[in-house]
Structure 1
Amino acid sequence: MAVNCTTLEEIRANIDHLDQQIVALLAERGHYVSQAARFKKDTDGVKAPQRVEQVIAKVRGLSEAVGANPEVTEQVYRAMIAAFIEQELAEHASLKNLQTT
């Protein structure tokens, strides 16, 4: 829960603390993304545009429920998902190469 800060330094310290948590969660999410590549048959399965839209709809709803800006949440998630798709495509290609050698 966000607290009211009295100085810019206090705000920055709280943001730094949140950034540590966010990066740890991104690392955890990334591990799951890498695992998911094993279950996808092809690159279309990796890109999964319908799944992307499901996730966006879900996080917009979550955003509204906690009082966050849904537009910001959507933009952040779209950027994050695009980066993770690139990671998963590389992982998928690597796995496919291992299977053919």
Structure 2
Amino acid sequence: MAEVRAGVDALDQALVALLAQRFAYMDAAARIKPARNQVRDEARKAVVIANVAAAAAEAGLPDGLAEALWETLVETSIAHELARWDGLRKPLL
């Protein structure tokens, strides 16, 4: 059991590192997008979730798992990007 737990812990650390990379892309997107209303893109969100749902199904993951996780991930990413976008464009006093 100790080996299984060590494996799970190692995977969790790898997932956190990958999430950090993903959020670095959100930071880049906030710098690139010229208008705040471009941050939320429902069509892109649907494509992202559909892509991970298909990959999850192919990998044999439980139905609905990827969609639920990515719904939270994408909404958190949008909130993060909006905050970054706003922070980058604060008026200087």
- Whether TM-score is above 0.5 comes out as yes
Q: Does 1:42 align with 2:28?
A: no
CA RMSD after TM alignment? 1.4
Q: What does residue 5 of structure 2 align with?
A: 12
Structure 2 counterparts to residues 1-101 of structure 1, below 5 A: 7=1, 9-97=2-90, 100-101=91-92
TM-score by length of 1: 0.82
Gaps of 5+ in 1: 1-6
Q: Greater Rg, structure 1 or structure 2? A: 1
Residue 47 of structure 1 aligns to a residue in which SS? coil
CA offsets per residue over residues 47-87 of structure 1, 9 Å max, x none? 11111111001111111111112411111111111111111
CA offsets per residue over residues 14-40 of structure 1, 9 Å max, x none? 110110100000011111110001222
How many residue pairs get aligned? The number is: 92
Gaps of 5+ in 2: none
TM-score by length of 2: 0.88
Q: Distance in 2 between matches of 1:61 and 1:70?
A: 10
